[in-house]
Amino acid sequence: MFSAVSNFKRRRMIRNLHRQDSDRFAPVGVCRVLKVPLPPNVADAIWEAAQVTNFLTTLGVGHRVFGPLNVALQWWALTYRQSWGMLHHNDNMMLMHQCVLGVTRSADALSVDALVRHRQIAPTNFDRSYGGVLTAMNLATVAVYFISGVAKVRSRHGWKWADGQVLRDQIAADAIRKEVFGSKPPTAAGTLYRSQVRFGALSVIALAVELGAPLSLVHRRAGQVFSVAAWGMHIGIRVVMGIKFTYNVTGVSYLPYWPVGRQLPIG
């Protein structure tokens, strides 16, 4: 549902993006099969088709057909979108979650399919295999955070990233960039930059969250602690840098760490 609403809101932006100068097109991922961008009308049509299947998958209509089809279309549409500029890693996480939901039995309840087949939408079967869906989604989440952490310590700064100076410089550079391009940087950016806050502590926390992400798979409670910590980190990024990782800030991306309903005993 989040993807369907989010993509609908940025429909105009996507259409404008499809009409940029072709020199800005740098294909990534599956779009590397293209040497030049698609005609804008074709790109628009694929995007619109992806949103139709997105809506049908959200409702759980013909999931065995539209679920996998939605995966293919979303994968292409979002990769094509990222081929026009900066990679949006929160989109990558959302896409991986959609891939899991699209190819698993995620519409066995709370869906149109369930209503048609069983005359009710509430779950009729409690099976441990359904837990694999959430675990697979959490694996995708862990991959995004862990890779981000590894990228930090593999940069030219190495483990010195933890001393805080890199983070302080990033906050300053982001604020200056916003001013240069005519937007107002968050007040918190200047306040924090001029304060005596130890950026090393903030950097260590960020690395702990990202590199410690795999521990979230060890136990349900560990996963929930990680989700709260990661959510808090994104709230901090939103306040200080004004960067909207909406999928993360809303908490939707962490829902697989918080299963509801009847929990089957282990063993």
Domain ranges for the chain, please list them. 1-125, 147-267
Look up the pTM and report it.
0.88
Higher pLDDT, 226 or 191: 226
Residue whose token pair is 């992806």:
50
How far apart (Å, rounded) are the C-alpha atoms in residues 59 and 62? 9
Question: Model confidence over 167-197: pLDDT tens digits?
Answer: 888 888 888 888 888 888 888 878 777 775 6
Calculate Rg over the CA atoms of the chain: 21
**What confidence score (pLDDT) does residue 266 get?**
54
> Does the pLDDT at position 106 exceed 60?
yes
Tens-digit pLDDT profile for residues 13-57? 999 999 999 999 999 999 999 999 999 999 999 999 999 999 999
**Signed CA dihedral, 15, 16, 21, 24: sign only:** negative
Residue 83 contacts residue 28 (beta carbons within 8 Å): yes
Which is it for the CA torsion 103, 26, 147, 228, positive or negative?
Answer: negative
Angle between helices 220-241 and 165-180 (to 10 degrees): 50
Query: Measuring CA to CA, how many Å separate 105 from each of 13, 67, 113, 219, 228?
Result: 33, 9, 11, 23, 27
Identify the three-state secondary structure at position 122. Answer: coil
DSSP H or E run through 174: helix 165-180
Alpha carbon separation from 222 to 83, 128, 217, 229, 244 (Å, rounded): 36, 20, 7, 11, 26
Residue 89's pLDDT is what? 73
Length of the chain: 267
Lowest mean pLDDT segment, chosen from 121-125, 219-223, 254-258: 121-125
Compute CA 111 distance to the chain's CA centroid, rounded to the nearest angstrom. 23
For the chain, the average pLDDT equals: 89
Question: Would you state the pLDDT for residue 98?
Answer: 94
Q: Does the pLDDT of residue 58 top 90, yes or no?
A: yes
Quick one: pLDDT at residue 222? 96
Q: Give the per-residue pLDDT at 197.
A: 67
Q: Is the pLDDT at 209 greater than 70, yes or no? A: yes
Q: How confident is the model at residue 200 (pLDDT cuts 50, 70, 90)?
A: confident
Binning the chain into helix, strand and coil, the percentages to the nearest 5 are: 70, 0, 30
Residue 100's pLDDT band, with cuts at 50, 70 and 90, is very high
* DSSP three-state, residue 6: helix
Contact partners, residue 8, CB within 8 Å, separation at least 6: 51
More confident residue, 264 or 206: 206
C-beta separation of 102 from 71 below 8 A:
yes
Percentage of the residues of the chain whose pLDDT score is greater than 90: 60
Average pLDDT over residues 71-94: 88
